């Protein structure tokens, strides 16, 4: 199943909330994203049907291996671009918003080269 940017965002947010809260329910995502619970429920159902997450009998969400892989990839990109933009003097709110857009469209090859270049600059 091909994921859209919104699906990747949901997976990233589930990962972040799991690190922060331990266990995550749809209501936690709705609060964090400031969206309606029905919107979250629709996204969760789509991601569950795609094999990216599961829901247990207590309605806690769990990333599958595939879901975790996607979430970690998007989260890594988000952190990288946010940090790079802030270091370049971009306002943190703008950097955060721009990173959220860039993380979805950049190719793996381009991201890997940028990471390597940034690492070499710090040496």
**Domain range list for the chain:** 5-69, 70-117
The token pair at 85 is 């933009």
CATH topology of domain 70-117: Diphtheria Toxin Repressor; domain 2 (1.10.60)
How far, in Å, CA of 22 to CA of 27, rounded?
A: 14
Q: Per-residue pLDDT tens for 24-65?
A: 999 999 999 999 999 999 999 999 999 999 999 999 999 999
pLDDT at 79 over 90: yes
Q: Spelled out in words, what is the top-level CATH class assigned to the domain 5-69? A: mainly alpha
Rounded to two decimals, the pTM is 0.90
**Letter string b/e over residues 97-116, b meaning 16 or more CB atoms within 10 A of that residue's CB:** eebbebbbeeeeeebeeeee
pLDDT score, position 123: 77
């Amino acid at each position: 199943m091909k994921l859209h940017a919104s699906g990747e965002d949901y997976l990233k947010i589930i990962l972040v909330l799991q690190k922060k809260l331990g266990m995550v329910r749809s209501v936690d995502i709705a609060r964090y994203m400031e969206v309606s619970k029905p919107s979250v429920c629709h996204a969760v159902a789509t991601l569950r049907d795609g094999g990216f997450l599961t829901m247990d009998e207590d309605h806690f969400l769990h990333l599958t291996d595939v879901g975790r892989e996607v979430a970690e990839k998007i989260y890594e990109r988000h952190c990288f671009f946010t940090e790079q933009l802030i270091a370049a003097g971009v306002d943190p709110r703008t950097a955060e918003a721009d990173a959220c857009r860039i993380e979805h469209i950049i190719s793996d090859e381009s991201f890997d080269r940028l990471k390597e270049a940034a690492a070499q600059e710090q040496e």
